[in-house]
Amino acid sequence: MRVLVFGAMHMWGKSAKTGAAYDMARLYVASAIRPGAKENFTRTGCGYEAAEVDCEPSVVEALQGVSFPAILTLETEMRLLGGKFVPTVVGVASDAKKAAA
């Protein structure tokens, strides 16, 4: 999947409330703003908004030194998280690297 990536972040540590360890990584990508409506809700707009996508910490490491925003090709896998399948980015290639391959 080819997307515009705004940035990447890897966070780890211990929860101040529970003391439980955490380790999570995210990519911030452009997602089209989609209108919608329900009985008590209406959403309109145009353009793009930032969306978070789970990723492997190794993806954040691989993106060090990349100039953002960047158009990248994401390699994803569906993973079970909290009882739902969610896409997780497991690899990234810039269009320049893809063209050279």
6-14's contacts with Cβ under 8 Å and 24+ in sequence apart are 6/30, 6/50, 6/68, 6/69, 7/68, 7/69, 8/55, 8/59, 8/60, 8/63, 9/60, 10/57, 10/60, 10/61, 12/57
CB 28 within 8 A of CB 51: yes
Per-residue pLDDT of 10-39, as tens digits, reads: 999 999 999 999 999 999 999 999 999 999
Return the pLDDT at 1: 86
Per-residue pLDDT of 49-71, as tens digits, reads: 999 999 999 999 999 999 999 99
Q: Which two tokens stand for residue 22?
A: 């955490």
CB 37 within 8 A of CB 81: no
Residue 95 pLDDT more than 80? no
Return the pLDDT at 89: 96
Among 2-11, 35-44, 92-101, which stretch is predicted with the lowest mean pLDDT? 92-101
